[in-house]
């Protein structure tokens, strides 16, 4: 019986080990199956991601180059002069949204437009504070070609003709302002102030009031060949015309007489 029991026990031990082995085998198969399922899921996720990436790349390949550009304009290899920062060197300038976005050597990036400025000067817009661009509608575009992006017409017109000068200023392609000549005629050959009656304060003030949006001061030409002995009286009347508007007076002086020393009493005048 013992042997039989032993044999039966061995049998049950063997059966138990077989069951254990089978259980482990089943566990291994289950884990292997789980890994297979997980691998399939990862593969499916990767395929979906690849599909999304491929579709995204195809979408952006259709975007116009203007939308993808870093800058609206790059001005390449010009001699850039900017006195405000002491710059005088060959540089690129990148512009985006109407503003300077970068200044540097060989700026990288795409642009909607590129200008080759080699051999040319690139500078901030020039301001001409003593011009006569308002005499005709052709004046402002000519100034712009010379790099002038702001100008002041210094007395081309007086009370009799300032409206035409102001109209030119308003229609200019750049910023434009006007000085009203104290002489109602504006500039005339031979000198507009030899006849002092032309320096009419009331008419000058009316001219300022009508064109206050562009008028920034009064102009008086006081050179000897323009005003002669009327220089100081013309200056006095110019200041009287400007005072109610709190505007400055610009004067032009050259070839004056010994009366020059008397100008010291009019310290606000500019030359």
pLDDT tens digits, one per residue of 103-159: 999 998 899 999 999 999 999 899 999 999 999 999 999 999 999 999 999 999 999
What percentage of the chain has pLDDT greater than the value 70?
68
For 176-221, how does the pLDDT look when each residue is reduced to its tens digit (9 = 90+)? 999 999 999 999 999 999 999 999 999 999 999 999 999 999 999 9
Q: Which of the pair, 250 or 61, is modelled with greater confidence?
A: 250
d(CA 178, CA 174): 13
Task: State the distance between the two ends of the chain, measured CA to CA, in whole angstroms.
Answer: 139
Q: Which residues is 127 bridged to in the sheet? A: 150
Residue 3 has pLDDT above 60, yes or no: no
Q: Is the pTM of the predicted complex or chain greater than 0.85?
A: no
Q: Which residues is 102 bridged to in the sheet? A: 94
Classify 126-265 by CATH class.
alpha beta
Instruction: Kindly list the distances between the CA atom of residue 199 and the CA atoms of 107, 218, 241, 253, in Å, as whole numbers in the listed order.
Output: 57, 11, 10, 17
Residue 265 has pLDDT above 70, yes or no: no
d(CA 203, CA 14): 129
Per the prediction, the chain carries an average pLDDT of 79
pLDDT (average), residues 7-31: 40
Q: What is the CATH number of domain 65-122?
A: 2.30.40.10
Contact 167, 211 (CB under 8 A): no
For 211-263, how does the pLDDT look when each residue is reduced to its tens digit (9 = 90+)? 999 999 999 999 999 999 999 999 999 999 999 999 999 999 876 555 555 55
Contact 110, 68 (CB under 8 A): yes
pLDDT (average), residues 29-53: 42
**Is beta strand 71-82 parallel, antiparallel or unpaired with respect to 99-104?**
unpaired
Residue 26 has pLDDT above 90, yes or no: no
pLDDT value at position 37?
42
């Amino acid at each position: 019986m013992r042997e039989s029991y032993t044999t039966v026990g061995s049998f049950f031990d063997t059966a138990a080990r077989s069951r254990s082995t089978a259980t482990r085998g089943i566990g291994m198969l289950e884990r292997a199956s789980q890994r297979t399922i997980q691998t399939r899921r990862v593969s499916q996720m990767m395929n979906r991601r690849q599909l999304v990436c491929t579709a995204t790349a195809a979408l952006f390949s259709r975007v116009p180059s203007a939308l993808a550009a870093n800058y609206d304009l790059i001005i390449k290899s010009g001699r850039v002069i900017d006195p405000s920062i002491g710059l005088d060197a060959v540089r690129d300038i990148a512009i985006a949204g109407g503003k300077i976005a970068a200044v540097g050597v060989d700026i990288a990036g795409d642009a909607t437009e590129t200008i080759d400025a080699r051999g040319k000067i690139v500078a901030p817009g020039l301001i001409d504070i003593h011009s006569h661009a308002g005499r005709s509608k052709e004046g402002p575009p000519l100034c712009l070609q010379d790099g002038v992006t702001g100008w002041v017409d210094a007395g081309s017109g007086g009370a009799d003709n300032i409206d035409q000068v102001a109209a030119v200023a308003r229609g200019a392609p750049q910023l434009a302002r006007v000085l009203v000549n104290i002489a109602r005629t504006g500039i005339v050959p031979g000198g507009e102030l030899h006849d002092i009656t032309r320096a009419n304060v009331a008419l000058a003030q009316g001219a300022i009031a009508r064109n206050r949006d562009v008028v920034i001061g009064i102009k008086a030409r006081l050179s000897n060949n323009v005003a002669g002995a009327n220089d100081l009286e013309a200056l006095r009347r110019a200041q009287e015309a400007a005072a109610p508007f709190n505007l400055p007076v610009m004067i032009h002086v050259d070839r004056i007489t010994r009366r020059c020393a008397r100008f010291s009493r009019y310290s606000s005048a500019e030359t």
